[in-house]
A = this chain, B = another copy of it.
Amino acid sequence: MNQSLLNGEQTTLIALTDRGLQYGDGLFETIALSAGQLTLWSYHIERLNAGCRRLAIPVPDESLLLKEAELLTKGVKQGVVKIIITRGSGGRGYRPPVSAEPNRIVTLHSWPDYPAAWFKTGVVLRLCQTRLGSNPSLAGIKHLNRLEQVLARREWSDPEIAEGLMLDGNGQVIEATQSNLFLLYDGQLVTPDLSCCGVAGTVRRLVMEVAQEQAIPLEISAVTLQQVRQADALFLTNAITGILPVKQFEKVRYDVTSIPTLLIEEVNKHLHR
């Protein structure tokens, strides 16, 4: 970690009593700094605030977050800004304190070096054994309870495999460990419904909005493994990687050129790529 701020103060430490550590009682955002810009800032803030409301954690002051993110990234062109909001310390056991004093963590990280070929010729996707538990109370938001993703990401170490697809307990396709999934299927874009599990990604939202502008039909629905295998194309979305075309899932190969070029270009424009 290059630099970190806790409630605006430079430090690398936090109280052992913080409920983020004790129970994963908080939320986070991972924001791409690209061409010196904090990309999709408002989308990240909106999801963070929605998460705070869901968990009944006071919504952080956006101007403070922006000030701190700008302080850390001054003169930096490319990097990753991570924000963590926890409920803070206190309370008795699981019961949150009556008036929570949340902790606000802003950190700057170096840009990960993904192979350039991933974005041109596509990536290999595998199927994870670890499933996602369903819970509408926690679905969609980016909370700190991420053991399912940690266990799923542990399943492979082959650097040729970029991502792992995750199913819910019923075998429905939900997302990849750190990305959302889109299918080009039957002439339209399809992305899994996330009302019971999964994280509603910021680039997923951007793709949906750009598709609407470009009059590309898009459906949010339940997705089966069979549909994934039969799709004309697949791509993954993530705040840092943007759009990642999939060239292969298990033994099925896909035509990455069938993903609408105009869609990719417009999304990349918003991501300052």
- List chain A positions with a Cβ less than 8 A from chain B: 1, 4, 6, 11-25, 28, 55-56, 84, 86-87, 92-96, 105, 107, 112, 130-138, 143-154, 169, 177-178, 197
Contacts and interface: CB of A to CB of B under 8 A. Distances in A.
A188 to B, nearest CB: 30
A150 B25 contact: yes
B92 A112 contact: yes
Given A94-B177, A130-B137, A135-B131, A147 B23 contact: yes
Nearest to A80: B93
A94 B210 CA distance: 29
27 contacts: A1-B16, A12-B15, A12-B17, A13-B13, A13-B14, A13-B15, A14-B14, A14-B16, A16-B107, A21-B21, A21-B84, A21-B86, A23-B144, A23-B145, A23-B147, A25-B146, A25-B150, A55-B151, A92-B112, A94-B146, A94-B153, A95-B153, A133-B133, A133-B138, A135-B169, A137-B148, A138-B151
